[in-house]
Structure 1
């Protein structure tokens, strides 16, 4: 047996040496390395090209827009474009309002969607499959199809007609405020909430049931088990939902124009930027394009900073939420 073991080890060493030092195998290895590097570099360039272009344009002087020799590096660096666009956008006020709105809706959506996802994952009751099918349907159905009833719901907001019964008025007007965003988020019916419920359901299903059983043995109820056991173990899913919710609310202009068309929010300010800029004042259409690119760069800058700190948890959440039993 020892002889066969020695022979086997020697054969494996010979195969390893052949694969490592054989010119054909080395050529195949380096060819794959070069091909993989070129593909990764090309894909990264395609993704980063728009951002690099906007950075280059935002730092250019107006005269560089007519210089054909300027491609990436401006000949005359300036921060005047940033200062001008910040004034057009009311940038600091818009960012502050958008930050509070996005943060508030993200927290409310996190709580409501986590509870709904845990219920679909662990609590078995009659009709749960049909209810979850409706949740998935909300992902597919575009919000534009229910625009009119959604608008009227918050224009004449009333719960079971209680307000009208006591006051005689048809309802409370919640438009031009953040209440429609907060109420829909707290009820797990806000922007992309069907997707968040699906993410939490998939993640909770991937956790071992022994965690819950141990909590039940110790006398914990459903809500205590959820808060003390399941939620602390779902940090990747929480980070994923929080990041998705924050970014989508940050970039949302549809519901902002529907519920609060006069609010000073960043997405709405960017939509209005082409109409605010006066081409005859800045010198022509080319300068208008310069300011539009600068505005887009300022719009994605806070999101880019957020992703730098949250990318680790985001990648973990995407990996874990795809695992099911």
Structure 2
């Protein structure tokens, strides 16, 4: 609308249009707020409830007036859960287990992703399709094959030929290390895909310059390409740490000792408190479980807060979105 037509319009009509635009903008803003608040409540609501209930006493639990904030409040739930979980020792063994698996996954998955991104070899597309299938196929469908494989573990019949029987690797962490080292550990397919997408986005001139300088394939990969892939390395590291830390599927499938992993400790915490502390009321023992869950979540929250900025940067550059 030009200036002449604007002058010809009545003042009331201009004000009505301006008010209409303001009302439309306000309604759109209000809709966004409602959606954000609703999603935040769905995500944070259960967590807020767990944190609040972890401070409840038995009196707070059965007090009809108390809804979210405890009237009395106590730290005894945390003290008991901390003791029954042997928290410092369990946390140390858990992080030793998780960090070692994470380092193996970064090494194996980055090499696989680099190979798919840069090299040509027979059945490349078929093999990469198999990698994608590992992301799509539910873990539940692989329970029985994995269990039977590691219940009577053998390598091309060699172990059976020497000893007369396979090796039972259950009740140990060995199955997880074997799977991770072979690129089929927890979410390894996703990590290979992330590295593949990132390496495909790097210019080939970097490698060509390294070849001109006389660098070999392994030197180029470890000293140049992997250094440039640090955003993806950080993203995969956080994903792997969190998922390995929270894993109960493989831990229960392979019957890993519950004293070694925090995720297994939390699954037996309630039964331990009911038995040792003679708490027969299941609703009260649930309060101790809430405290244990908070203690379990705290290390991961601290890690995410410290690495939040780099994690978001790495996720945006590693091909996860878009």
Specify if TM > 0.5: yes
| Greater shift in the superposed pair: 310-319 or 47-56 | 310-319
Aligned to 2:294: 297
Deviations 1:26-75 (A, max 9, x none): 44334433432333233222211111111111112221111122222211
Determine whether 1:254 maps to 2:258: no
Aligned to 1:87: 83
CA separation of 1:286 and 1:115: change in aligned 2, threshold 3 A:
same
Aligned to 1:105: 101
Distance in structure 2 (CA, Å) of the matches to 1:200 and 1:191: 16
CA separation of 1:261 and 1:182: change in aligned 2, threshold 3 A:
closer
CA contact (8 A) 1:60 1:74 kept: yes
CA separation of 1:324 and 1:42: change in aligned 2, threshold 3 A:
closer
Aligned to 1:29: 25
Aligned to 2:240: 245
Distance in structure 2 (CA, Å) of the matches to 1:303 and 1:232: 25
Please state how far the C-alpha of 1:161 moved relative to its aligned partner.
Answer: 4.1
SS at match of 2:203: coil
Let me know the Cα RMSD of the aligned residues.
2.8
CA separation of 1:94 and 1:237: change in aligned 2, threshold 3 A:
same
Deviations 1:283-319 (A, max 9, x none): 5232022122222222222211121122223222332
Please state how far the C-alpha of 1:109 moved relative to its aligned partner.
Answer: 0.5
Determine whether 1:198 maps to 2:193: yes
* TM-score, normalisation: structure 2: 0.86
CA contact (8 A) 2:102 2:240 kept: yes
Deviations 1:197-236 (A, max 9, x none): 1111111111122222222222222222211221111122
SS at match of 1:175: coil
Q: Can you give the 5+ residue segments of structure 2 that lack an aligned partner in the other structure?
A: 8-13
CA separation of 1:278 and 1:168: change in aligned 2, threshold 3 A:
closer
CA contact (8 A) 1:109 1:185 kept: yes
Please state how far the C-alpha of 1:164 moved relative to its aligned partner.
Answer: 4.7
Aligned to 1:314: 311
SS at match of 1:278: helix
Determine whether 1:226 maps to 2:221: yes
Please state how far the C-alpha of 1:320 moved relative to its aligned partner.
Answer: 1.9
* TM-score, normalisation: structure 1: 0.85
Distance in structure 1 (CA, Å) of the matches to 2:79 and 2:174: 33
Q: How many residues align?
A: 310
Aligned to 1:55: 51
